[in-house]
Structures are given as structure tokens and as C-alpha cells.
Structure 1
Amino acid sequence: MENGGGSKRWGFGRNEEILRASAFSIRGILGSVIQNLNPDDTRPVIPLGHGDPSAFPCFRTPSEAQTAISDAVYSAKFNCYAPTIGLLPARQAVAEYLSQDLPYKLSPDDVNLTIGCTQAIEIMLAVLARPNANILLPRPGFPYYEARAAHSNIEIRHFDLLPESDWEVDLNAVEALADENTAAMVIINPGNPCGNVFKYQHLKKIAETARKLGILVIADEVYDHLTFGDNPFVPMGVFGSISPVITVGSISKRWIVPGWRLGWLVTNDTNGILKEQGVIDCITRFQNISSDPATFIQGAVPDILQKTKPDFFPKIINILREAADICYDRIKEIPCITCPSKPEGSMFVMVKLNLNLLEDIVDDFDFCLKLAKEESVIIMPGFGVGLKNWLRITFAIEAPSLEDGLARLKAFYQRHAKKL
């Protein structure tokens, strides 16, 4: 038998599909941008690409949440395995938390705890997978849905969000795309990457469209209640009597703890359609062959949800509102980018890149690579979220750093502006 790699044929090797999916993920794309940073630039790097404000002191999670974690650990009650769907007290707490915004009460049996919102997405797409199935995804959107749908061999069909209409769903396109093999449509509200917040009437129309087409709605509400414009947050579950709704969410964004990895998958289905069709049973059975959140995190959930002081949330909203104002105003000073509508929620804004005003920029990716190298500013190129030659900017950082980053962005434009 030969030693080493040489001429021996081994039964394993690179999985090209995984490599491709990783390269086009948000982390993969931002990783490429970060690699282009100039190590000789002594200025601090300004992270306007990834929505994780936890590094900044002004976004620190409340002490009540930290105490809940330490109490759970030191109690020694949560060193065990948990049920695959989650500990009952934690599921009860999530049900009560979400029910505050609904016209009916959720049961703990409607709640499945997950390892962040991403695992909730994985579970739902795995459950919906069947021969010839397709799913309707928003463009722009969160590319994790595309990656997981492809992994589950679900055909992806995109409907547009309309920038001229505050990024509302193109419902005519949804109807045109759907057929007898369409399983679901996904909405993200408040919006990532657009910073939009859907109005009540628009959400109702989405539910009515889903009922007409015989599909369920997966409502990604990981940014729930992070709204600071004219439109309040309305959970899609309000319309669970019109069409079945699966809500996915987490404590990651509202409590500023994305690394704690505690999320949920919740059924809003007052007519029992999901149970009748066997979807609920499939979700539970999938979790039997999956993993679950750390038990001590689950043990802390009731206190996190119930004991966080009410003044914490307005403080975070005010910081985001001021940051969104700064971002929107400074963008207007940079001719090569245009913001179609002021962000009203989440932590992001989409801006259109006008390449005609730039002398030596090929596309949005080239723009972000050169910006990183010349100004140490990280921005997400729009192609990664479905819109080529757009940019996704996060404003969830401290105000002085945001001002600095946008000033550098303006200087970058001035350096590369086309000479008239």
C-alpha cells in the first residue's frame, strides 16, 4: 500500500458544493473584503458590513440577561440534556413573550427552541424539502435561505422587493412564480438588508396571497421590535388565521447577544392546517436528529424575557434611530450612492451604486475591495444579498465610528470620481 497522497486514489476529497456556498455567504464575501485591508493603515477598521453591534459598549446587553445566565449556570439545574424541542419553562416564556403582540395566545407546544434563528431556517427548509419542491425568496434578502434551500434540493424562485415602494413585496410576481410545487414564501420583517418595516395592510395582503396560493409564510422576525420610523412592528402571526405562518426569531438582535445562539421556530396556525398536513410532526422529528441550544441558555430564557428592565429597549431604539439619521444624511453627501428610502428598522440600509460617476470601479465587489484597502472601511457588496451594484451598510455601531466611516466613504468617492 502506498503512503502519502501521490497516486493513491482516496474515497474522499473536497466538496465543491460546500466551497461554492461558503464563498457566496455573507461571512465568505466579507472575509474576502477583509483580506483586502491594508496592514499599513494605522486607522481603526470601521465595520459597516456585518450586523453585530455587541462589540460596542453602547450596545451592551442588559445586566438582567447576564445575571440570568450566571444564575442558570450556578444553579446546577441545567447541566443535563434538554428535550429536543426545548425546556418547557423556556418554551412557555417564549410563547408568553410573542403572545403579547398577537390576538390569540400561543401555547408552549407551538414553540420549538433552536440554536439561533439560523437553525430554525435549516429545520424549516429541511422539513419542506420534497421532490420538485420550490420556495419563493425575497430579492434582496438574507442569502442563508438560498444556501440552505440549495442544500435541501429545493428550487429557488425570487420575487422582488420594490425600492420605489419602501421595499414592499411584489405580490404580482409572487402569484406569477407560484405553482402546485411551491411550499412557502419567506418574508423578513423588519427587513434585512433593506431596513424596511412592512405595514399592517401589506402584511395582510401577503397572508391573503399565501392563502390563495395554498402556501405557508415563513416570517423571519429576528429584528422584531427594532423599529424607529413611522411604521410599528407587526408580527406576521397576527394573520395566522388567514394563512399558516411559521415565525423564526431569536434573542440575538433585540438583546444584542448573537453569540448566545438561542432562537425559536413558532407555529401560528389557528386553523390547525400545519398539524393536519403533518408539518408539525416533521418539525419535531427533525429535531430528534438535530442538536439543540445549550441547556443553561434555555434555563436563563424566562428571566431574560421577563426580567429585562423596560428602559433597556427604548435606549437601544434611540441609538439605532440616531445612527440611521446619521447614515441617511451622510449618504446624501456622497453622489455615487443613492438611498431609495430612509431605514425604519433592523440595522441596515441598501444603497444603489452609480458606477457612471466613478472612474475605475468595475462593480460593487470591486468598490468594496478598494474601499477596504484604501480607507479600512468594510461594507457588504450588494451582489451577496441579491442586488448587484448595490451596497448593504450597517449603522449599528457607535456614532463617532459611523461618522468616521462615512467620511472615509465620501473621501473614497472624491478620489475615484469621474473627471468631467
Structure 2
Amino acid sequence: MENSRAGAAAAAAHKWKFQGNDGLNTASALSIRSVLNMLNSNIDQNDTRVVVPLGHGDPSSFPSFRTTPVAEDGLVDALRSAKFNSYSSTVGILPARRAVSEYLSRDLPYTLSPDDVFMTVGCTQAIEIILTVLARPGANILLPRPGFPFYEARAAHCNLEVRYFDLLPEKGWEVDLKAVEDMSDENTMAMVIINPGNPCGNVFSYQHLKKIAETARKVGIMVITDEVYDHLAFGSTPFTPMGVFASIVPVLTVGSISKRWIVPGWRLGWLVTNDPDGIFKESGIVESIKGYLNISSDPPTFIQGGVPHILSKTTDEFFSRIIGVLKETADICDEKLKEIPCINCPNKPEGSMFVMVKLELSVLDGIKDDVDFCLKLAKEESVIIMPGIAVGLRNWLRITFAIEPSSLEDGLERMKAFCKRHTKS
């Protein structure tokens, strides 16, 4: 016993040279997952009610959002074929790349090649790749505010400076194009747009996307377009891919099967160069993407093997059903939020799975800010909502409506009761 104590004391006295990377902790604190973990830890364990998750964009556990059997069959057939048990090419297997190029080309005025497509571990790896490729000393990138915090976290991780342009609620969350022009300099590499919008639930019009392309061309930067919610549009504005304007400005598209097919856990995404003028090849972007993929993980080969079946065989009936449910829940969200006095919803959502609403703190008693609101709502009502500061707007809230309609109504009723309890007399 005394020998073990002496050994422990000697180990404690020894000076070790290794330590954790504090930068990773800082970047992680910016993530949606870390905020959701904080809120979930604040749930009252004595509350017997079901927790209503209005804070994330994963509706896959709800019956109304079950993926199509076509997608399931595609994966099963690929796995059982025994054709996809080997390593993947670093850029992705050719059948998957060809299927994605054909799928995306349906909406474009030109035809993509399989060589324009790089398969990734979900859309998040596609984001990680392009931000790392663009990172060099002094470089900066323009991000939307509010936006998806993973971009900020990854930029911080690879020392890429971030500058923010605002999305304007009074204009349906359009991009402040003057700000984009004013803040760009010789070290600006790209601007990011998310369409349909996370977190705002907006869908950019054809005309506005063209203006974005013209602004980016004027200042000499590429457009990175996050289209993970592609075609999830149910309002008056149809979805238009940014790649339509690749003859004006080179466009990098990131996307995945996660949202449209309701399978975020399958982790299958893509990075696509929309570049009919060959600008990405001339500037070395394509070679840098390939270089990154040579030292990173690949998406599972059998999931890639299922992609041709999934993308070509899924019926319009499935897509229409999902759009119909999202429209129903967006309507419920819009109507219920009007009943809550401390909430101001500037725009009814027209796409994706989210809506941004302004928190009117002046009418509330004992609520300091959006984080305090969400922590207390979780504790008192077992309802999880994302504080706006997590996506770049203090004292706003991001609410997802991609859950079962009855659960959404229940959650918003609890939120209304919470607000009534905390409203100043």
C-alpha cells in the first residue's frame, strides 16, 4: 500500500509536457450540440411530461417524418450485394458521384460531371473541407448573421478570420449586399449563403440570388452555398440552386441526403464545384480539395453504393408528403406564436425546418436574456428551444417545427403558459 502511495506521489510531482488544446474547447462551445446538451441538462427530472424538442433539425424519430422505403431498400441492396465492402476512392465511388451530378443537374442550365462531385461524411465534412482549403495566413470569410454556427466553429479551428453580414428580417431575411461589398478586401476568400435558410426559414428568390452572384463577382470572391435543405420549400418562393449563376461567379455547393430524405444519421453528403469556366481548377481549389480528401475519412462505401438507387428511384409522392407535413407544422407554428405576447415573428417560414422569432424582454419579469429564457423554459416546461445567441442573434429564438404536429402544438402551448407566468403584471 505504501509503495503504491509513493508511486502516486512521484507521478503527481512529475512534470508532464502534454496538455489539451484549449482552442478545441472554444470552438466546441459554439456548436449547436453543446447548447442542446446544456439545455437538456436543465430539464426537471421530476417532470413526467415528454420533453418537446424544438431546438434541433432532426425529425427522423417522428412517424410523420419516416424516410421512404426506397432509401432503406437502396442501402440494404447495396450492403447485401457485397460490392461495397472495400475502401472507397478518396473522392467517392464513381456511381455515387455520377448519381449526385445527375441529381443536381436537373435544376441547372448545364450538366455537371462526376468529376465535379466529392462525396463527404455528411454536409459538415464538406464545410470542414472547403474552410480548411481557404484558410491561409490573413484570409477571411464572410458568414451570414444569423447563421449555422458550425461555420464559425470550423473557421476558428483553422484560424480563418470571420466577418459577418446581416440577414435582414424586414426584407424577408435577404442578404445585406452593401455590407458584403463594404467588408470585402484583398484577403476575402468567399461568402456563405444557406438556402433554404437555417435558422430563418427563408427561401431566396431567383432575383436575389442573381444579385448575390453579381456582388460576389464584383468583389472577386466565390460563393459557398449550403443547400442541405434543397427543395424543402413550401411557400410562394420556389427553390433555386445557386449553381444556376455559376457563369457569373464560381459556386461551391455543399449538400447531403440528410434533410430531404430525413436520414441525418446516415452521414452522406457532397461538395460540388459549379464552375463552367474552370476557375476553381486554375486557382488550385480542386487540387486542394483532393489533397484534403487524401488525408481524411470517407463516407461508408455501402451508403455511397445505395445513392444511385436513392436519388433516382425516390418518388415525388414521398417528397410531396414531407413538404405537406412541413407546411402544416409551419402553419401551426405561425398561428400559435401569434398567441404568445412576448414573441414577435417577423416572417412566416417558407422553407427548411426553422423559424427565427424575436424575444420581447421588456414584457417579461425575471428573464435576463434569450439563454436565461431557454434554460428556464426547459426547467419549467420540458421544452427545448435554441437561444438566438447560438446562431448569432442575441435575444432571438430559433424554433424548429419539424416534429409531429401534435407535439408541436403541445410544446408551443407550454411555451405560451411559461410566457404568461413570466409576463409583467
Question: Which TM-score tier does this pair reach, normalised by the shorter chain?
Answer: over 0.9
Identity of aligned residues (%): 69
2:324 counterpart letter in structure 1: N
Q: Give CA deviations for 1:93-145 in whole Å, capped at 9, x if unaligned.
A: 00000000000000000000000000000000010011100000000000000
1:40 aligns with 2:46: yes
- Which of 215, 230, 236 is equivalent to 1:224? 230
* Structure 2 residue 306 is matched with structure 1 residue 291: no
Structure 1 unaligned residues grouped into runs of 5+: none
- Distance in 2, matches of 1:45 and 1:131, equals 45
Residue 201 in 1 paired to residue 201 in 2? Answer: no
Q: Deviations over 1:197-238 (max 9, x none)?
A: 000010000000111111000000000000000000000000
Q: Distance in 1 between matches of 2:353 and 2:13?
A: 52
Query: Which residue is equivalent to 1:350?
Result: 356
Per the TM alignment, residue 19 of structure 1 is displaced from its structure 2 partner at its CA by 1.4
SS across alignment from 1:370:
helix
Query: Which of 186, 193, 204 is 1:187 aligned to?
Result: 193
Tell whether the 8 Å contact from 2:27 to 2:154 is kept in structure 1 after alignment. no
1:4-403 matched pairs, under 5 angstroms = 6-403=12-409
Structure 1 residue 278, shift from structure 2 partner: 0.8
Residue type of the alignment partner of 1:117: C
Taking the aligned partners of 1:128 and 1:184, their CA distance within structure 2 comes to 8
SS in 2 for 1:281: helix
Q: What one-letter code is carried by the residue in structure 2 that aligns with 1:156? A: V
**Residues 96, 307 of structure 2: 8 Å contact kept:** yes
- CA distance in 2: counterparts of 1:81 and 1:14, whole angstroms: 32
Bigger drift between 282-291 and 15-24 goes to 15-24
Q: State the shift of 1:394 in Å.
A: 0.1
Q: Which amino acid aligns with 2:318?
A: F
Offset at residue 22 of structure 1 (A): 1.5
Q: Which amino acid aligns with 2:264?
A: P
Deviation at 1:7, TM superposition (A): 2.2
Displacement of 1:249: 0.1
1:2 Cα shift? 5.5
What is the TM-score with the length of structure 2 in the denominator?
0.98
Report the alpha carbon displacement of residue 15 of structure 1 after superposing the two structures with TM: 2.1
Checking the alignment, whether the CA contact within 8 Å between 1:2 and 1:8 is kept in structure 2 is no
Contact kept in structure 2, 1:195 and 1:345, CA below 8 Å? yes
CA-to-aligned-CA distance 1:251-284 (integer Å, 9 cap, x gap): 0000000000000000001111111111111111
CA distance in 2, matches of 1:61, 1:253: 10
Deviates more, 1:180-189 or 1:303-312: 303-312
- State how many pairs are aligned: 419
Contact 1:113 1:262 in 2 (8 A): yes
Distance in 1 between residues matched to 2:29 and 2:137, nearest whole Å? 27
Distance 1:386 1:12 in 2: 34
Supply the distance in 1 between the matched residues of 2:54 and 2:281 (Cα, whole angstroms): 42
The gaps in structure 2 that reach 5 residues or longer are 1-5
Q: Quick one: which amino acid aligns to residue 381 of structure 1? A: P
What TM-score does the superposition give when structure 1 sets the normalisation length?
0.99
d(CA) in 2 for partners of 1:379, 1:84: 38
Give me the whole-angstrom Cα distance separating, in 1, the residues matched to 2:350 and 2:137. Answer: 39
Q: Cα deviations across residues 281-314 of structure 1 (Å, max 9, x unaligned)? A: 1111110011110000000000000111220000
SS of 1:326's partner is helix
Q: Give the CA deviation at 1:14.
A: 2.8
- Residue 3 of structure 1 and its aligned partner are, at CA, apart by 4.0
Preserved contact between residue 186 and residue 220 of structure 1 (Cα < 8 Å): yes
Give the aligned residue type for 2:86. C
3-state SS of the aligned residue for 1:311? helix
Measured in 1, the distance between the counterparts of 2:332 and 2:274 equals 37
Q: Report the residue type matching 2:406 in the other structure.
A: P
- Whole-angstrom CA distance in 2 between matches of 1:73 and 1:360: 55
